[in-house]
Structure 1
């Protein structure tokens, strides 16, 4: 998909539509939508630096038991361990790290590639 924030909703609709067909409940749909949106926006803003010449690659596999989602950008990557903890007092007013925290809270598994430009997330039913 292009690095264009207006395309995020379209991708969310596709994935969530498939999950609805498979019988995922509203809480599960909310969790996946939130994590997917954070992953897509992070890939576009932080990974690709909103460069319209770069793309974001999304792949997902949805079954009645689980959904696996991969989001990769064409940026230089980052070290997820170097992202400040947004719950620590001195970071409460800083905008960084919240998206990763939300992905980890709402998905059952979250892993970043060694290069730091791909996230894989799993939600079980």
Structure 2
């Protein structure tokens, strides 16, 4: 099991370092390219949301990230210093009336690539879980 924590003060070099550390741990556990892509994409989106929407790009605020990588799953916790939000209040970007609205797609994106996406009250902490697919075994005849 690989566990690491970061405190990110900006949405640049520190975030890239945390992402690189996570992806290195994921690759070392033998996760394939499609898994790495899914995890990277969801992490980028969650971090972007934390800095932009949670902390409102305030350089005095930090984003905390902790991840645990083992052979079965990757768990990523991201917490910002914002007030939080109700994820149910975000308009569904796939609905006809929201198709041209440029925001709201991040949550859908994270949910499509991760096994579980959970926002914890008051909404300033998200847990991303990626379950590794187990190899299929042939059944005897």
TM-score (norm 1): 0.96
Query: Which of structures 1 and 2 has the bigger CA Rg?
Result: 2
Tell me how far apart the structure 1 counterparts of residues 122 and 39 of structure 2 sit (CA, whole Å): 24
The corresponding residue for 2:10 is 4
Cα pair 1:3 1:48 within 8 Å, conserved: no
Instruction: Tell me by how many angstroms 1:12 deviates.
Output: 1.1
Tell me how far apart the structure 2 counterparts of residues 113 and 5 of structure 1 sit (CA, whole Å): 22
Tell me how far apart the structure 1 counterparts of residues 113 and 15 of structure 2 sit (CA, whole Å): 18
Instruction: Note the residue ranges of structure 2 that are not aligned, 5 or more in a row.
Output: 1-6, 133-141
SS state of the match for residue 49, structure 1?
A: coil
Farther-moved stretch of structure 1 (87-96 vs 72-81): 87-96
Farther-moved stretch of structure 1 (22-31 vs 1-10): 1-10
Tell me how far apart the structure 2 counterparts of residues 84 and 66 of structure 1 sit (CA, whole Å): 30
Instruction: Tell me by how many angstroms 1:2 deviates.
Output: 3.1
The corresponding residue for 1:98 is 105
The corresponding residue for 1:19 is 26
Cα pair 2:83 2:124 within 8 Å, conserved: yes
- Aligned structure 1 segments of 4 or more residues deviating by more than 4 angstroms: none
The corresponding residue for 2:50 is 43
Write the deviation string for residues 11-36 of structure 1: whole angstroms up to 9, x where unpaired.
11110000000000000000000000
TM-score (norm 2): 0.86
Greater fraction helix: 1
Tell me how far apart the structure 2 counterparts of residues 122 and 2 of structure 1 sit (CA, whole Å): 20
Query: Does 2:119 align with 1:79?
Result: no
Instruction: Note the residue ranges of structure 1 that are not aligned, 5 or more in a row.
Output: none
- Paired residues, what number? 125
The corresponding residue for 1:119 is 126
Write the deviation string for residues 76-111 of structure 1: whole angstroms up to 9, x where unpaired.
000000000011111111122111001100000110
